[in-house]
A and B are shown apart, each in its own frame.
Chain A
Amino acid sequence: MSQVLSVDHLSISFGGLRAVDDLSFHIDRHEIYGLIGPNGAGKTTVFNCITQFYKPDTGEIRFTDQAGKEHLLNGMPAHKIIHLGLVRTFQNTEIIRELPIIDNVLLGAHTQFHAGTMANMFAMPWARKQERELRKKAMDVLAYVGLDKIANEYAGAQPYGVLKLIELGRTLMCDPSLIILDEPAGGLNDSETERLTELIRGIARDRHCAILLVEHDMKLVMSLCDRICAISFGKKLAEGTAAEIQQNPLVQDAYLGKEDEA
């Protein structure tokens, strides 16, 4: 099985509104997969359903971990998902403003810490050793995304672009097999977006993980993604490579804009 994630017949409604309607797609290992659609199409809702922040009405979500074991994500508590190697970022950059940047990144390694409350309170040597090791790993990650110089600055004082990078770094700490990025380039300018594109490409390549992303910046999506799924009003419009998607009339209609009539 070379699939890392498979979503089958996913549906969820809020009140009377069908936010996601019978959506199915799958992502292969080491693939960069894009999800596009107009605002309100349901993209973030799909992410929330996959990561069990919302419980879908119907549909199954299956995830295959590094060891090749398949897991059914439905019904799993949201905080257990990361243990499998699936990690995400948020549209609203859920960053802990009161903590320094490095602590924010360290949060991503939370599941790797063995020390419990007692061990931490009494500063057991083995707990401190692990803290040192993981702190070093966090610094390496920060260096990778280019934030190592400001590692000890408070996250709350940082500009939006830096917050996005912190979130990205945070996902790398758990050595994931699938990273879900929710509008990683949101609010970034052109040069920042270019850097981000290279960064994401590097992550997929160097860390051998798949990436599922939602983005409005078409340039980034088309240049980065191996395959793209276009949705509108919660329904799948089309799926394929960048070229195929761009040519698809349904997608053009709903999202990319019609060709000018001569």
Chain B
Amino acid sequence: MVEFFQQVVGGIETGSMYALAAMGLVLIFQTAKIINFSQGTLGMFMAYVCTGLILDLGLPMWIAVPVSMILAMVLGALIDRFLMNGKRNITNLNREMITLAIIMIFQGLAPMLFGANETPFSKFINTSALDVGGVKILPNSILIIGITCVIMAVLFFVLEKTTLGVAVRATASNPQVARLQGIPVKKVTIGAWAVATALGCLAAVMVAPLKNVTVSMMESIHLNSFIASVLGGFSTFYGPVVASFIIGIANNLLGYYVSTKWSLPLLYALILLFIVLRPNGLFGKKIVKKV
């Protein structure tokens, strides 16, 4: 029983990181209607930047991380403003191709600017694990889960209860109509990109202690955030987030009770099966096309 909860807690922690990345994906997808394939790579790059701030500039972690997130927002905004909307009528497919190219650029830039060596990254809190009824939880993990919950709460509050949120949801629902209503759709997408990139940065910084800062550090989070978006369905903001936690927990449980080698492929296979039966994901809604 103790082991069960141990795995669940671990799953919530990894699920948090997936959720942050997935939230970034769905924000951009809903507002700009494209898949940002570079989400993980940008996070990786910002983790390098953060490392640089800590090691070269000597900034403490609790300053370096927020600063990196702000820099990430600037980067995301610039990408949307100049690359995504540089020319008027780029097709969405081509925009997605551009995000692929962005992967190449930043995977090239990272070793160029920061060197090709793996750099360790310390956790937010380094104290040892607490014992809660036999389940060992690191304070760092609690912090990660806590930060994620707070951020999710803030984002959903903004989306549901503020005018800004209405603007975002209107853009997500129908950009042309939103524009007619006076909503600055361009600014909304820039904002979405900014927030999404910051979320990617945060996820990268959270996973950095586990994987070290290297070019491939975000691969697993990146992949799983995509799978979570499919499972949760892209038509809601909360879908992928919920699915992220499901994936995190399920992966851990499958790993413990079945096999660690096969947990992920097995999970993917199950999700694939699920998608065949419910093509719109857990929370997706089917839209009937009008002919």
Contact = CB atoms under 8 A, between A and B. Distances in A.
Interface of A: 14, 44, 48, 53, 90-92, 94
8 contacts: A14-B288, A44-B291, A48-B291, A53-B291, A90-B291, A91-B291, A92-B291, A94-B291
Interface residues of B, number: 2
Interface string B251-291: 00000000000000000000000000000000000001001
Nearest to A94: B291
Contacts of A44: 291
Interface of B: 288, 291
Nearest to A90: B291
A94 B291 CA distance: 9
Contacts, number: 8
B27 to A, nearest CB: 29
Q: Is the interface of A mostly helix, strand, loop or mixed?
A: loop
Contacts of B288: 14
A92 B291 CA distance: 7
A48 B291 CA distance: 8
A41 to B, nearest CB: 15
- Nearest 8 Cβ contacts at the A-B interface: A53-B291, A48-B291, A90-B291, A92-B291, A44-B291, A91-B291, A94-B291, A14-B288
A40 to B, nearest CB: 12
A80 B25 CA distance: 40
Given A14-B288, A53-B291, A91-B291, 5 more contacts: A44-B291, A48-B291, A90-B291, A92-B291, A94-B291
A48 B288 CA distance: 12
A59 B288 CA distance: 21
A91 B290 CA distance: 10
A90 B288 CA distance: 16
B161 to A, nearest CB: 27
Contacts of B291: 44, 48, 53, 90-92, 94
Contacts of A14: 288
A88 to B, nearest CB: 10
A91 B289 CA distance: 13
